[in-house]
Each structure stands twice: as structure tokens, then as C-alpha cells.
Amino acid sequence: MSDITKREVLIEVKDLKKHFPIMRGIFRKQVGAVRAVDGVSFNIHKGETLGLVGESGCGKSTTGRTILQLLEPTEGTVRFKGTDLTSLNSTELRKARRHMQMVFQDPYASLNPRMTVGSIVSEPLEVHNIGNKQERKEKVKDLLQLVGLNPYFVNRYPHEFSGGQRQRIGVARALATNPDFIVADEPISALDVSIQAQVVNLMDDLKSELGLTYLFIAHDLSMVRYISDRVAVMYLGKIVELSEKDNLYDHPLHPYTQALLSAIPLPDPEKEATRQRIVLEGSVPNPANPPSGCRFHTRCAYTTDICKKDDPEFRDMGTKGTPHWVACHHAEQFE
């Protein structure tokens, strides 16, 4: 068994579903539902970074927000340190949120333009009644220094900073309450490529320094491999593959994962010129009306009758004590 899976489980997600109702007519009658997250199960161990990847609209961000109870789940449970968050009332959830924070995708939209940096970073301290006024001021300066910003920037406003600096402010705000768990919802997608590596390196350093646990949601597969310990691949509301990063990238067992990895550019021009790209036919099905059986069967080159009828079991096909979970009827042929 790997070192990661020997660690204490911090987050336990079981059969998590989030469906958004589709309402029509004068009386706003529900006529269907968008199945954004449709039966997701996984654990996140203390001190690890779990990368969550997949194309736009697959339910990654909704999964992160539902874990933190920013969105109320339709079904399923989310346990944080053994406590089921879905069963807590608003007062209990508010206390639990001190230990769980989020870094949002857009550093331009997630910071209030009318608040100074000092007010933005100290707001979680005020909400959770941590320290007195002077202690909060000192804490804010320490946090800005921790994320690589000048502590004397406290009286400036968000519009005075670059995108990378704003995301650092967002990270400082997330760290204010000394959380154990952070959901990073595509924290680098809105940044210039030259700045992305700086923010990822900062988050990686903070993880080691503060003992943090991350759910890192992203599109960039090469960046996910760099920062993550394990990687989960999501397609149309379901996780189709989950394994340690090197195992998943070197030996993908799901056709969708293989197609995603084939799109990563290789630094060697000769290998890049000779390798075969896997181009998926068609588009992602409507999450309000997903296909029967395996959800990927409409775009998969290996589809058989069983794929169209039966939803594949999410099973462990790992070897040598390294778990490798996959939801595919024909995964054996890719071993």
C-alpha cells in the first residue's frame, strides 16, 4: 500500500449527488434536472493533494462546492474528520467552515473591489471571532508576507494589483483561519502562463509548511501532475478513474483518460511528431439527459453492447499494493 493511502482520511465523500432542477411554465413546475454530480465517491487523506480533472461542464467545481456545503447536496454524505457535514445545522456548519476554505477561480471576481486588502484578509478572522483588532492587524501582515506580498499593502484595493497578486490575496484569505483543508477551484486558469507556476509553487510550499490538504481542481493536466499526489478523472458527473499520479499518467486504464493525456504536448519534438493523438468524436452529452450504461460510450472507440446497457462498476485494478480505481467494462485490455 502507498504512503498516501496509509494516512488518516480527512475527507470522505460517499455517493455524492448534486442535481439542479429544470423549471418551466407559469407555475415553475420541475420538468427535469441537470445531474451535475451524479454519485461520486472518494477519500482525501491528510496532507495530500488530490487533483480533479476533466473537461468543462463535467461537474468538477460543483463537486468542490458541494463538499464544502456551499451547495446543498441532493444525496450522499461528506465526512470531515469523521463528522457528516450534510447533517449539521447552520451554526455547527459555520464552526466547521473555519477548518475548510476555498480559493476561487477568478481573482478578479472573488475579491470585493470596495474593500481594502486588509479588510478582505481579516474578514474570516472577524466572522469566526479570532483575536482582537490589533492581533488581526498583525495576523493580516503575517499572512501577506507568507504569500509573498508586501505587508504594507493592507490599505490598497484589489484593482491596484495584478492577477497573480490578487490570487495570492485570495490564498492569504483562505489561510486566515488556519484551515486543514482547502478546495482550490482552478486557481490558475485565469492567470498568465508565466504567473501560473509561481502560484502553484506557492501553494505547494504552503502545503509543506502548514500541513495543508488540497482538492486541486484544474484543466491543465501537466500542472495537476506536478502538484498532486493522486489524480481523479471526471466525466459527465462521475469519476471514471482514480490513482496515484505517476500510475495514472503512465498506465491509464480508461479510454477517456487516455484521450485527455494524448492531448498534452510533449517537450521532445521528435516524440511529439510521431505519437498518435486520440481524437474523441462528437460532443459531451447533455447532463440533463445522460446516456444509459457507461456515460462515455457515445464517444468511446471500444464500445460494446454491455457499455450501452450497464453502468460500469468503479473497481480497484491496482497491483503491488497501489490502488488504481477505474469505471470501465474493458479496462483489462489496457493493463
Count of CB atoms within 10 A of residue 116's CB? 17
Domain residue limits, the chain? 3-99+179-334
Q: What is the pLDDT of residue 271?
A: 75
Q: What is the pLDDT of residue 49?
A: 96
In which band, very low, low, confident or very high, does the pLDDT at 5 lie, cut at 50, 70 and 90? Answer: low
How far apart CA 113 and CA 110 sit, in angstroms, is 9
In which band, very low, low, confident or very high, does the pLDDT at 284 lie, cut at 50, 70 and 90? Answer: confident
List, for residues 104-114, the tens digit of each pLDDT value: 988 888 999 99
Q: What is the pLDDT of residue 1?
A: 53
DSSP class of residue 159 equals G
How far apart CA 117 and CA 115 sit, in angstroms, is 7
In which band, very low, low, confident or very high, does the pLDDT at 330 lie, cut at 50, 70 and 90? Answer: very high
Average pLDDT, the chain: 91
Mean pLDDT of 28-54: 93
Superfamily of domain 3-99+179-334: P-loop containing nucleotide triphosphate hydrolases (3.40.50.300)
125, three cell numbers: 478572522
DSSP class of residue 32 equals E
Mean pLDDT of 265-279: 78
From 5-9, 165-169, 206-210, the region with the lowest mean pLDDT: 5-9
How far apart CA 183 and CA 163 sit, in angstroms, is 19
Identity at 289, one-letter amino acid code: N
Mean pLDDT of 110-120: 94
